[in-house]
Amino acid sequence: MPSVWKRKDLVGLKDLTAEEIQLLLDTAKSLQQVSLRPVKKVPTLRGRTVANLFFEPSTRTRISFELAEKRLSADTIQFTGSNSSAVKGENLKDTVRNIEALKVDLIVMRHFSSGAPHRLAQSLPVSVVNAGDGINEHPTQALLDMFTIREKKGTLSGIQVAFVGDILHSRVARSNIWGLTKLGAKVTVCAPKTLLPAGIETFGVRVTSSLEEAIRDADVINLLRIQTERQDECYFPSIREYANNYQINSEILKRAKPDVLIMHPGPVNRGIELSSEVMDGPYSVILDQVTNGLAVRMAVLYLLSGTRRGGRKVNGS
Protein backbone atom coordinates (compact mmCIF):
# COMPACT_ATOMS: atom_id res chain seq x y z
CA MET A 1 0.00 0.00 0.00
CA PRO A 2 1.34 3.52 -0.77
CA SER A 3 2.25 5.49 2.37
CA VAL A 4 2.14 8.83 0.54
CA TRP A 5 -0.87 10.41 -1.20
CA LYS A 6 0.18 12.00 -4.50
CA ARG A 7 -3.04 13.25 -6.14
CA LYS A 8 -3.90 16.97 -6.19
CA ASP A 9 -7.66 16.35 -6.39
CA LEU A 10 -10.37 13.90 -5.44
CA VAL A 11 -12.93 14.03 -8.25
CA GLY A 12 -14.08 10.41 -8.21
CA LEU A 13 -13.29 6.82 -7.29
CA LYS A 14 -13.31 5.58 -10.90
CA ASP A 15 -9.65 6.42 -11.47
CA LEU A 16 -8.29 5.59 -7.99
CA THR A 17 -6.42 2.38 -7.29
CA ALA A 18 -7.55 -0.07 -4.61
CA GLU A 19 -4.46 0.99 -2.61
CA GLU A 20 -5.41 4.68 -2.75
CA ILE A 21 -8.96 3.91 -1.59
CA GLN A 22 -7.57 1.77 1.23
CA LEU A 23 -5.25 4.63 2.22
CA LEU A 24 -8.20 7.04 2.41
CA LEU A 25 -10.17 4.60 4.59
CA ASP A 26 -7.21 3.89 6.87
CA THR A 27 -6.48 7.61 7.27
CA ALA A 28 -10.15 8.17 8.19
CA LYS A 29 -9.84 5.43 10.79
CA SER A 30 -6.88 7.16 12.42
CA LEU A 31 -8.64 10.57 12.37
CA GLN A 32 -11.87 9.16 13.82
CA GLN A 33 -10.55 9.50 17.36
CA VAL A 34 -10.15 13.31 17.06
CA SER A 35 -13.94 13.66 17.39
CA LEU A 36 -13.96 11.51 20.53
CA ARG A 37 -11.58 13.79 22.47
CA PRO A 38 -12.73 16.52 24.88
CA VAL A 39 -10.99 19.08 22.59
CA LYS A 40 -12.10 18.03 19.11
CA LYS A 41 -9.53 19.97 17.11
CA VAL A 42 -6.07 19.46 15.60
CA PRO A 43 -3.86 22.15 14.01
CA THR A 44 -3.25 20.24 10.74
CA LEU A 45 -4.77 22.83 8.36
CA ARG A 46 -4.01 25.96 10.39
CA GLY A 47 -3.36 28.84 7.98
CA ARG A 48 -5.06 27.04 5.05
CA THR A 49 -8.29 28.28 3.47
CA VAL A 50 -11.00 25.97 2.14
CA ALA A 51 -13.87 27.25 -0.04
CA ASN A 52 -17.07 25.20 0.00
CA LEU A 53 -18.95 25.89 -3.24
CA PHE A 54 -22.42 24.35 -3.24
CA PHE A 55 -24.47 24.92 -6.38
CA GLU A 56 -27.05 22.35 -5.28
CA PRO A 57 -28.84 21.86 -1.94
CA SER A 58 -27.11 19.71 0.66
CA THR A 59 -27.46 19.00 4.36
CA ARG A 60 -25.10 16.13 5.25
CA THR A 61 -22.23 16.75 2.84
CA ARG A 62 -22.08 20.51 3.36
CA ILE A 63 -22.16 20.50 7.17
CA SER A 64 -19.86 17.49 7.34
CA PHE A 65 -17.19 19.19 5.19
CA GLU A 66 -17.58 22.40 7.17
CA LEU A 67 -17.13 20.59 10.48
CA ALA A 68 -14.21 18.53 9.12
CA GLU A 69 -12.47 21.78 8.11
CA LYS A 70 -13.07 23.28 11.56
CA ARG A 71 -11.76 20.14 13.28
CA LEU A 72 -8.57 20.51 11.19
CA SER A 73 -8.33 24.27 12.04
CA ALA A 74 -8.77 25.54 8.46
CA ASP A 75 -10.28 28.94 7.58
CA THR A 76 -13.43 28.39 5.56
CA ILE A 77 -15.61 30.19 3.01
CA GLN A 78 -19.21 29.05 2.56
CA PHE A 79 -20.70 29.71 -0.87
CA THR A 80 -24.16 28.61 -2.04
CA GLY A 81 -25.19 29.14 -5.65
CA SER A 82 -28.65 30.43 -4.73
CA ASN A 83 -27.21 33.22 -2.52
CA SER A 84 -24.48 34.31 -4.89
CA SER A 85 -24.02 36.41 -8.00
CA ALA A 86 -24.59 33.22 -10.01
CA VAL A 87 -28.30 34.14 -9.82
CA LYS A 88 -27.40 37.44 -11.54
CA GLY A 89 -25.85 35.56 -14.43
CA GLU A 90 -22.18 35.16 -13.41
CA ASN A 91 -20.84 31.95 -14.92
CA LEU A 92 -19.00 29.19 -13.03
CA LYS A 93 -15.59 30.07 -14.47
CA ASP A 94 -15.83 33.71 -13.39
CA THR A 95 -17.22 32.77 -9.98
CA VAL A 96 -14.31 30.44 -9.39
CA ARG A 97 -11.73 32.96 -10.68
CA ASN A 98 -12.97 35.40 -8.03
CA ILE A 99 -12.70 32.78 -5.31
CA GLU A 100 -9.23 31.83 -6.54
CA ALA A 101 -8.23 35.51 -6.35
CA LEU A 102 -8.76 35.24 -2.59
CA LYS A 103 -5.88 32.71 -2.51
CA VAL A 104 -7.80 29.70 -1.27
CA ASP A 105 -5.88 26.42 -0.93
CA LEU A 106 -8.65 23.93 -1.52
CA ILE A 107 -12.10 23.95 -3.14
CA VAL A 108 -14.93 21.57 -2.20
CA MET A 109 -17.60 21.68 -4.89
CA ARG A 110 -21.07 20.27 -5.41
CA HIS A 111 -22.53 21.01 -8.82
CA PHE A 112 -25.61 19.95 -10.78
CA SER A 113 -23.52 19.38 -13.94
CA SER A 114 -21.67 16.08 -14.29
CA GLY A 115 -17.97 16.81 -14.81
CA ALA A 116 -17.94 20.36 -13.36
CA PRO A 117 -15.39 19.55 -10.58
CA HIS A 118 -13.20 17.72 -13.12
CA ARG A 119 -13.02 20.81 -15.34
CA LEU A 120 -12.19 22.94 -12.33
CA ALA A 121 -9.49 20.54 -11.19
CA GLN A 122 -7.85 20.61 -14.64
CA SER A 123 -7.82 24.39 -14.84
CA LEU A 124 -6.81 25.37 -11.29
CA PRO A 125 -3.59 24.84 -9.35
CA VAL A 126 -5.52 24.39 -6.07
CA SER A 127 -6.92 21.04 -4.90
CA VAL A 128 -10.53 20.27 -5.80
CA VAL A 129 -12.81 17.82 -3.99
CA ASN A 130 -15.97 16.62 -5.69
CA ALA A 131 -18.89 16.81 -3.23
CA GLY A 132 -21.28 15.39 -5.84
CA ASP A 133 -21.52 16.25 -9.56
CA GLY A 134 -24.78 15.70 -11.44
CA ILE A 135 -25.38 11.98 -11.87
CA ASN A 136 -21.66 11.19 -12.16
CA GLU A 137 -19.86 10.66 -8.81
CA HIS A 138 -20.06 11.40 -5.09
CA PRO A 139 -16.73 10.00 -3.91
CA THR A 140 -16.82 11.03 -0.25
CA GLN A 141 -20.29 9.50 0.15
CA ALA A 142 -19.04 6.21 -1.26
CA LEU A 143 -15.97 6.33 0.98
CA LEU A 144 -18.10 6.86 4.08
CA ASP A 145 -20.41 4.03 2.99
CA MET A 146 -17.41 1.74 2.54
CA PHE A 147 -15.92 2.88 5.84
CA THR A 148 -19.22 2.05 7.61
CA ILE A 149 -19.45 -1.41 6.03
CA ARG A 150 -15.84 -2.18 6.92
CA GLU A 151 -16.44 -0.97 10.49
CA LYS A 152 -19.57 -3.11 10.94
CA LYS A 153 -18.55 -6.21 8.97
CA GLY A 154 -14.78 -6.15 9.51
CA THR A 155 -13.95 -6.29 5.80
CA LEU A 156 -15.18 -5.31 2.36
CA SER A 157 -13.77 -8.32 0.59
CA GLY A 158 -16.54 -10.77 -0.39
CA ILE A 159 -19.29 -8.62 1.16
CA GLN A 160 -22.54 -8.59 -0.87
CA VAL A 161 -23.96 -5.07 -1.25
CA ALA A 162 -27.35 -4.48 -2.91
CA PHE A 163 -28.31 -1.00 -4.15
CA VAL A 164 -32.06 -0.60 -4.53
CA GLY A 165 -33.70 2.47 -6.06
CA ASP A 166 -33.02 5.12 -8.65
CA ILE A 167 -29.73 3.74 -10.01
CA LEU A 168 -30.12 5.73 -13.25
CA HIS A 169 -29.70 9.14 -11.59
CA SER A 170 -27.47 8.06 -8.69
CA ARG A 171 -23.93 9.42 -8.38
CA VAL A 172 -23.79 7.59 -5.02
CA ALA A 173 -24.36 4.25 -6.74
CA ARG A 174 -21.72 4.97 -9.38
CA SER A 175 -19.00 5.94 -6.89
CA ASN A 176 -19.89 2.99 -4.64
CA ILE A 177 -19.70 0.57 -7.56
CA TRP A 178 -16.20 1.78 -8.49
CA GLY A 179 -14.98 1.71 -4.90
CA LEU A 180 -16.61 -1.47 -3.62
CA THR A 181 -15.68 -3.64 -6.61
CA LYS A 182 -12.04 -2.48 -6.40
CA LEU A 183 -11.92 -3.64 -2.77
CA GLY A 184 -13.43 -7.04 -3.53
CA ALA A 185 -17.10 -6.54 -2.59
CA LYS A 186 -19.88 -8.01 -4.76
CA VAL A 187 -22.44 -5.45 -5.91
CA THR A 188 -26.03 -5.97 -7.05
CA VAL A 189 -28.16 -3.15 -8.44
CA CYS A 190 -31.94 -3.44 -8.29
CA ALA A 191 -34.55 -1.14 -9.83
CA PRO A 192 -37.39 -1.12 -12.34
CA LYS A 193 -35.82 -1.55 -15.79
CA THR A 194 -36.51 2.12 -16.57
CA LEU A 195 -34.28 3.22 -13.66
CA LEU A 196 -31.28 1.10 -14.67
CA PRO A 197 -28.65 2.84 -16.88
CA ALA A 198 -27.96 1.14 -20.22
CA GLY A 199 -24.83 -1.02 -19.97
CA ILE A 200 -24.72 -1.02 -16.16
CA GLU A 201 -23.70 -4.71 -16.21
CA THR A 202 -20.36 -3.69 -17.77
CA PHE A 203 -19.52 -2.06 -14.40
CA GLY A 204 -19.04 -5.59 -13.00
CA VAL A 205 -22.30 -5.73 -11.05
CA ARG A 206 -25.23 -8.13 -10.91
CA VAL A 207 -28.40 -6.51 -12.27
CA THR A 208 -31.97 -7.40 -11.33
CA SER A 209 -35.43 -5.87 -11.16
CA SER A 210 -36.52 -8.36 -8.48
CA LEU A 211 -36.23 -6.97 -4.94
CA GLU A 212 -36.45 -10.44 -3.47
CA GLU A 213 -33.53 -11.66 -5.57
CA ALA A 214 -31.45 -8.58 -4.71
CA ILE A 215 -31.85 -8.82 -0.94
CA ARG A 216 -31.78 -12.61 -0.47
CA ASP A 217 -28.02 -12.93 -0.03
CA ALA A 218 -27.20 -9.27 0.74
CA ASP A 219 -25.00 -8.37 3.72
CA VAL A 220 -25.85 -4.73 3.12
CA ILE A 221 -28.89 -3.11 1.49
CA ASN A 222 -28.22 0.50 0.45
CA LEU A 223 -31.44 2.32 -0.49
CA LEU A 224 -31.48 5.14 -3.00
CA ARG A 225 -34.06 7.89 -3.19
CA ILE A 226 -36.15 8.41 -6.32
CA GLN A 227 -34.59 11.64 -7.61
CA THR A 228 -37.68 13.39 -8.96
CA GLU A 229 -35.66 16.63 -9.33
CA ARG A 230 -33.53 14.95 -12.04
CA GLN A 231 -36.41 13.17 -13.80
CA ASP A 232 -37.99 14.82 -16.81
CA GLU A 233 -40.21 11.88 -17.73
CA CYS A 234 -42.27 9.16 -16.01
CA TYR A 235 -40.17 6.12 -15.15
CA PHE A 236 -42.94 4.18 -13.35
CA PRO A 237 -46.73 4.49 -13.06
CA SER A 238 -46.85 6.02 -9.55
CA ILE A 239 -44.81 6.47 -6.38
CA ARG A 240 -47.32 4.19 -4.65
CA GLU A 241 -46.67 1.39 -7.13
CA TYR A 242 -42.92 1.92 -6.78
CA ALA A 243 -43.21 1.65 -2.99
CA ASN A 244 -45.35 -1.50 -3.30
CA ASN A 245 -42.63 -3.21 -5.33
CA TYR A 246 -39.37 -1.77 -3.99
CA GLN A 247 -39.87 -0.46 -0.46
CA ILE A 248 -37.80 -2.06 2.31
CA ASN A 249 -40.13 -2.64 5.25
CA SER A 250 -40.33 -5.11 8.14
CA GLU A 251 -42.21 -7.68 6.08
CA ILE A 252 -39.68 -7.68 3.22
CA LEU A 253 -36.78 -7.69 5.67
CA LYS A 254 -37.86 -11.16 6.92
CA ARG A 255 -36.47 -12.45 3.60
CA ALA A 256 -33.05 -10.88 4.15
CA LYS A 257 -30.10 -12.15 6.20
CA PRO A 258 -30.58 -11.77 9.99
CA ASP A 259 -27.49 -9.55 10.28
CA VAL A 260 -28.18 -7.38 7.22
CA LEU A 261 -27.23 -3.69 7.42
CA ILE A 262 -29.68 -1.06 6.14
CA MET A 263 -27.95 1.98 4.67
CA HIS A 264 -29.13 5.14 2.93
CA PRO A 265 -27.04 8.15 1.84
CA GLY A 266 -29.93 10.53 2.66
CA PRO A 267 -32.09 12.43 2.28
CA VAL A 268 -34.66 9.67 2.90
CA ASN A 269 -38.21 9.83 1.61
CA ARG A 270 -39.80 8.05 4.56
CA GLY A 271 -42.51 5.63 3.52
CA ILE A 272 -41.31 5.40 -0.09
CA GLU A 273 -37.98 3.58 -0.43
CA LEU A 274 -37.85 2.77 3.27
CA SER A 275 -40.49 2.37 5.98
CA SER A 276 -40.06 4.49 9.11
CA GLU A 277 -40.00 1.33 11.21
CA VAL A 278 -36.93 -0.02 9.38
CA MET A 279 -35.26 3.37 9.07
CA ASP A 280 -35.36 3.82 12.87
CA GLY A 281 -34.92 0.13 13.67
CA PRO A 282 -31.98 -2.05 14.75
CA TYR A 283 -30.70 -2.91 11.26
CA SER A 284 -30.30 0.74 10.27
CA VAL A 285 -26.81 2.30 10.31
CA ILE A 286 -27.92 5.49 8.56
CA LEU A 287 -26.78 7.82 11.33
CA ASP A 288 -23.48 5.91 11.69
CA GLN A 289 -22.91 6.78 8.03
CA VAL A 290 -23.33 10.47 8.88
CA THR A 291 -20.93 10.21 11.84
CA ASN A 292 -18.33 8.39 9.71
CA GLY A 293 -18.65 11.01 6.98
CA LEU A 294 -16.84 13.45 9.24
CA ALA A 295 -13.75 11.24 9.64
CA VAL A 296 -13.72 10.43 5.93
CA ARG A 297 -13.87 14.11 4.92
CA MET A 298 -11.16 14.99 7.44
CA ALA A 299 -9.01 12.28 5.82
CA VAL A 300 -9.62 13.64 2.31
CA LEU A 301 -8.75 17.21 3.34
CA TYR A 302 -5.71 16.02 5.27
CA LEU A 303 -4.30 13.94 2.41
CA LEU A 304 -4.97 16.52 -0.32
CA SER A 305 -3.50 19.36 1.71
CA GLY A 306 -0.17 17.58 1.81
CA THR A 307 0.29 16.99 -1.92
CA ARG A 308 1.72 20.42 -2.69
CA ARG A 309 4.56 19.65 -0.31
CA GLY A 310 5.37 16.29 -1.92
CA GLY A 311 2.67 14.12 -0.36
CA ARG A 312 1.20 13.52 3.05
CA LYS A 313 2.87 10.73 4.97
CA VAL A 314 0.49 8.45 6.82
CA ASN A 315 1.65 6.67 9.95
CA GLY A 316 1.19 2.95 10.08
CA SER A 317 0.23 2.39 6.46
List the catalytic residues.
Answer: 60-61, 88, 110, 138
- Report how far residue 190's alpha carbon sits from residue 263's, in angstroms, rounded to the nearest whole number: 15
Q: Which is nearer to ligand CP, 298 or 314 (CB)?
A: 298
From candidates 165, 192, 265, 306, binder to ligand CP by CB under 6 A: 265
Among 213, 119, 228, 131, CA closest to 171: 131
Stretch that binds ligand CP, among 41-49, 54-62, 79-87, 157-165 (CB under 6 A): 54-62
Q: How far is the CB of 223 from ligand CP (least distance, A)?
A: 12
Partners of residue 13 on adjacent β-strands = none
- Report how far residue 48's alpha carbon sits from residue 103's, in angstroms, rounded to the nearest whole number: 9
Stretch that binds ligand CP, among 69-77, 181-189, 214-222, 265-273 (CB under 6 A): 265-273
Q: Which is nearer to ligand CP, 171 or 312 (CB)?
A: 171
Stretch that binds ligand CP, among 13-21, 80-88, 198-206, 259-267 (CB under 6 A): 259-267
Q: Nearest residue by C-beta to ligand CP?
A: 61
Q: How far is the CB of 216 from ligand CP (least distance, A)?
A: 27
From candidates 58, 160, 175, 284, binder to ligand CP by CB under 6 A: 58
Q: Which is nearer to ligand CP, 19 or 229 (CB)?
A: 229
Residue 257 in contact with ligand CP, rule: CB under 6 A? no
As a whole number of Å, the CA-based R_g of the chain is 19
Residue 266 in contact with ligand CP, rule: CB under 6 A? yes
Q: Which is nearer to ligand CP, 67 or 252 (CB)?
A: 67
Q: Which is nearer to ligand CP, 44 or 140 (CB)?
A: 140
Among 163, 162, 165, CA closest to 231: 165
Residue 60 in contact with ligand CP, rule: CB under 6 A? yes
Residue 81 in contact with ligand CP, rule: CB under 6 A? no
Counting residues that bind ligand CP (by CB under 6 A) gives 10
CB-CB contact of 76 with 50 (8 Å):
yes
CB-CB contact of 114 with 133 (8 Å):
yes
Residue 117 in contact with ligand CP, rule: CB under 6 A? no
What's the angle, vertex CA 114, arms to CA 123 and CA 189, rounded to 5?
Answer: 140
Stretch that binds ligand CP, among 58-66, 96-104, 145-153, 211-219 (CB under 6 A): 58-66
Q: Which is nearer to ligand CP, 20 or 56 (CB)?
A: 56
Q: How far is the CB of 170 from ligand CP (least distance, A)?
A: 11
The CB density around residue 158, as the number of other CB atoms within 10 Å, is: 10
Contacts with ligand CP by CB under 6 A lie at: 58-62, 132, 141, 265-267
